[in-house]
Amino acid sequence: MSDLDLVIVGKEKMPINEYYALKDAFEYSELPFRVDLLDWHRISKGFQKLILKNYVPLVD
């Protein structure tokens, strides 16, 4: 199954209750693919560097 890796980039960490609500909404949606949701401020600097090499912004 295909998936979409979606990283939320904000000025600070997303409130944890909002993060899990959004994560649950994607999990229980009827989208024909899985969505892996990440909060930019909760991932390692190494993973951030990897993302910056090859990403497509959805909203500026």
60 catalytic residue (yes or no):
no
Report phi then psi at 34, rounded to 5: -85, 145
Nearest-Å Rg of the Cα atoms of the chain is 12
- Among residues 31, 38, 34, the alpha carbon closest in space to that of 3 is found at 34
Active-site positions read 3, 5
